[in-house]
């Protein structure tokens, strides 16, 4: 009886060069996995986060803010490359200047994921755990339905903030403060 050949897993470096299939995807443990294209509301929230966080980081010369599902390598052998909705890299982690046109080995200190209506919580929490295991300090999951921010760290969940609560990152972003509801306006 013949056995089927083993599926060839690809690396993050090979994934960098795969052609765009016309829909979003991620590399998960060496396999390309298609994703649902997000709705405009998802993009609106991502841009709002990027603007608020990016403006603050620029004004205080703190680091880089990236978005648009920028690739973050979360695992090696087999490789996983996740598309962060918005991420912050301090200048301590990545020097000033243009970022390279390839995946970088460093992980961001802060990642925001925006929950889409079709996202399931177990999947989002598993993705957040991947980021944290890779060395991300804080993952924030924004939920438009509840207008809330769920904060997770390697030490465990830090709680949920409602629309009138203030989100801060004292160890990462100094005096940065934002009312959670601003992300959803």
CATH classification at residue 85: 3.90.1570.10
- Does residue 73 contact residue 80 with C-beta atoms inside 8 Å? yes
pLDDT of residue 161: 97
- 140 part of a folded domain: yes
- 12 part of a folded domain: no
pLDDT of residue 6: 64
pLDDT of residue 117: 85
Closest-CA residue to 136 (of 82, 77, 56): 82
pLDDT of residue 23: 79
Q: What is the DSSP string of 127-164?
A: HHHHHHHHT-SEEEEEETTTTEEEEEETTEEEEEE-TT
- 6 part of a folded domain: no
Digit-by-digit pLDDT tens for the chain (185 residues) are 556 556 789 999 999 888 877 778 899 999 999 888 889 999 999 999 999 999 999 999 999 999 988 999 999 999 999 999 999 999 999 999 999 999 999 999 999 999 988 889 999 999 999 999 999 999 999 999 999 999 999 988 899 999 999 999 988 999 999 999 999 99
Q: Domain count for the chain, please give it.
A: 1
| Predicted model pTM | 0.92
Instruction: Give the chain's largest Cα–Cα span.
Output: 66
pLDDT of residue 150: 97
**Helix (H), strand (E), coil (C) string for 109-136:** CEEEEEECCCCCHHHHHHHHHHHHHHCC
Estimate to the nearest angstrom the gap between the alpha carbon of 72 and the chain centroid: 7
- 60 part of a folded domain: yes
Domain span at 66: 38-184
């Amino acid at each position: 009886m013949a056995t089927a050949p083993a599926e060839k897993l690809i690396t993050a470096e090979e994934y960098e060069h795969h052609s765009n299939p016309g829909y979003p995807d991620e590399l998960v443990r060496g396999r390309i996995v298609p994703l649902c294209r997000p709705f405009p509301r998802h993009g609106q929230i991502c841009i709002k986060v990027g603007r608020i966080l990016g403006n603050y980081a620029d004004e205080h010369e703190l680091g880089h803010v990236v978005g648009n599902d920028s690739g973050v390598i979360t695992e090696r052998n087999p490789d996983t490359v996740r598309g962060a909705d918005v991420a912050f890299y301090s200048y301590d982690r990545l020097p000033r200047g243009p970022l390279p046109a390839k995946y970088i080995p460093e992980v961001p200190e802060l990642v925001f994921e925006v929950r889409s209506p079709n996202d399931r919580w177990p999947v989002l929490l598993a993705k957040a755990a991947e980021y944290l295991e890779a060395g991300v300090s804080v993952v924030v999951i924004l939920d438009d339905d509840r207008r809330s921010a769920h904060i997770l760290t390697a030490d465990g969940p830090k709680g949920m903030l409602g629309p009138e609560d203030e989100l801060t990152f004292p160890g990462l972003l100094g005096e940065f403060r934002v009312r959670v509801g601003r992300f959803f306006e």
